[in-house]
Amino acid sequence: MPEDAIPSSFDDFMNPNTENSEEEKSEKQTLEERFSRERVSWGGKVKGLSAKLKETKEVAVLMTEIYTERQLALEYYHYLIALLIQINKKYNRSYSEKYKFYKYESQERLPNDNLVKIRINAELQDLKEKRDILDNHAKFIDGTIKTIDNIIFGMKSRIDIEQIARGK
């Protein structure tokens, strides 16, 4: 699978190679780098759409293009949320299993729940980091959708301004 391709399934997205911590670090960097490139790409798209508001002739092209871009962003946002739901399920399941283990089955004595939670959070740090990275990117895409909506609203205003300038 190409490095910048979005995985088609949750398993492809989540299954790290746990044999080597260097590879895990590389995977996280790859995820962060991919999302960073996508943020730059979406930022460029929004700038391009905004620039088309400048010329009246470009507004007609913008009207057809902007709804396509909005739909792509919306579908991508929902894909990210679906991944986030799955990663949250996996995190909660793992947390519950580890809590039960440390609270009732472990030979190590952890005198209070706070110490158990600290131990579990340390063990699930990689999963939590992926969850946070994914959540941050989903929030960015949601903000991008809102920006595109504002451009859609601005198109009507741009047309109204042009009509006033023409004396209509």
pLDDT tens for 17-37 read: 444 456 555 666 688 899 999
Indicate whether this model's pTM tops 0.85. Answer: no
Residue 18 falls inside a structural domain? no
CA of 19: how far to CAs of 14, 40, 47, 106, 119, in Å?
A: 15, 32, 42, 24, 21
* Structural domain includes residue 22: no
Give the tokens for residue 143. Answer: 């903000």
| Domain contains 7 | no
Tell me which residue has tokens 């991944």.
Answer: 83
Please indicate, yes or no, if residue 124 is contained in any of the structural domains. yes
6 found inside a domain: no
**Within a domain: 148:** yes
> In which domain, by residue range, is 131 found?
29-165
Six-digit token string for 13: 């997205």
Q: Which of 42-46, 82-86, 138-142, 162-166 has the least mean pLDDT? A: 162-166
Q: For the chain, how many structural domains are there in total?
A: 1
Q: Considering the domain boundaries, does residue 19 fall inside one?
A: no
For 116-152, the pLDDT digits (tens) are 889 999 999 999 999 999 999 999 999 999 999 999 9
